[in-house]
Amino acid sequence: MHAAIAREILASGRPLKRPACLLSGGETTVTLRGKGLGGRNQEFVLAAILALQGAGPATVLSAGTDGIDGPTDAAGAIADTETLARAAGLGLDARRFLEENDSYHFFDPLQALLKTGPTGTNVMDVRVLLVPSQK
């Protein structure tokens, strides 16, 4: 849904004009199919950048306020619409990593994991999607 709203902003300037910032909170769910490593926030970012592919510039961040995402040392991840090209340059197939629920090993070589360490608080997960102004 986040990517669909961003695509609409990029295509038509609705429901918000650029620059735009979409914020949401709460915990998403993940259907486990593979045997990879990651958490719901890392998977959200990977799915979102794949859904935004070819739409235009955007940046996606999703993280747990407790500093932990699934069984990993990352709170989440951050990526933009150029991340997929950087990943392809390293031989990383984003769709394969998503299918294997292996978002951690996708983002780690890209240095796109958000690592804060445990924060001692757990308010909720937070998601930020930025659509920059037109050039």
Q: What percent of the chain has pLDDT over 90?
A: 87
Map tokens 């932990």 to a residue: 68
Alpha-carbon gap, residue 109 to 87, rounded angstroms: 8
Task: DSSP for 10-31, please give it.
Answer: HHH--SSPSSEEEEEES-----
At 85, list the tokens.
């090209």
Cα distances from 17 to residues 11, 22, 110, in angstroms, run: 10, 12, 30
Question: Looking at residue 123, what is its pLDDT?
Answer: 87
- The owner of tokens 């914020």 is 23
Q: Is the pLDDT of residue 135 over 80?
A: no
59: burial class by Cβ within 10 Å (0-12, 13-18, 19+)? buried
Phi, psi (degrees; rounded to nearest 5) at 98: -65, -45
Average pLDDT of the chain? 95
Return the bridge partners of 23, or none. 128
> Which domains are seen in the chain, by residue range?
23-129 (3.40.1480.10)
* pLDDT band, very low/low/confident/very high, at 29 (cuts 50, 70, 90): confident
Confidence band (pLDDT; 50, 70, 90) for 13?
A: very high
> What is the rounded CA–CA span in Å between residue 58 and residue 28?
20
46-105 pLDDT, tens per residue? 999 999 999 999 999 999 999 999 899 999 999 998 999 999 999 999 999 999 999 999
Distance CA 6, CA 56 (A): 9
pLDDT at 81: 87
